[in-house]
Chains A and B, each alone.
Chain A
């Protein structure tokens, strides 16, 4: 099955903890993206990567970190520095040279 997967579907975090959200794709896409969605709001870009071993900050990168060691994987770490991490996190991927993005099912993060 080709596609983009995210895990876990739901994640609970205690205040002060770092957590890592997984994003994997087997679509052979070069570009990968992380978005945050808050209730009733649009998508805000956290980080994106156009190629392995390279990534750029999006509009709301503070309190987050990423890595892109493999083409298939783009994990997002929500650090304790992120003051309001409770949100729906969406990962997406796309082909180089094309703007269309394909989204994973998302991870809902709740801070207790």
Chain B
């Protein structure tokens, strides 16, 4: 089945530092989504990227989809303590329409 690899698994930063998490697939993806899960909470949809080379921004968050549509990244500029949580990428699962395959997630800790 489709696999999506996400790195790093953990990231500790000082408040104000930047943060990036990467998602890679061996196969071309039709689209990729990003979710955030706060500690003790449930995943919440952030954004979907569809086009090759697409870049989208949400305030301090920048999402990129690679030109080959095999990788994606989420970059947070000047992290804040409210950014703490686990960030997941998710891709549609091959031939199973509507089925998502999630990356392992990156757990972000922000030290004040």
A contact residues vs B (CB 8 Å cutoff): 31, 33, 35, 40-45, 48, 50, 56, 58-59, 90, 92, 94, 96-106
Contact = CB atoms under 8 A, between A and B. Distances in A.
Contact of A96 (B88, B96, B98, B101): B98
Interface residues on B, range: 20 to 34
Contacts, number: 56
Contacts of A96: 98
B105 A41 contact: yes
Given A31-B98, A48-B99, A99-B100, A104 B48 contact: no
B99 A103 contact: no
B100 A41 contact: no
B98 to A, nearest CB: 5
B42 A42 contact: no
21 contacts: A31-B98, A41-B104, A41-B105, A42-B88, A42-B102, A42-B105, A43-B43, A43-B102, A44-B102, A45-B93, A56-B96, A90-B43, A94-B98, A96-B98, A99-B33, A99-B48, A99-B92, A102-B45, A103-B43, A103-B44, A106-B42
Contacts of B41: 105
A105 B48 CA distance: 21
Contact of A99 (B6, B43, B98): B98
A52 to B, nearest CB: 15
B99 A58 contact: yes
Contacts of B43: 43, 90, 92, 103
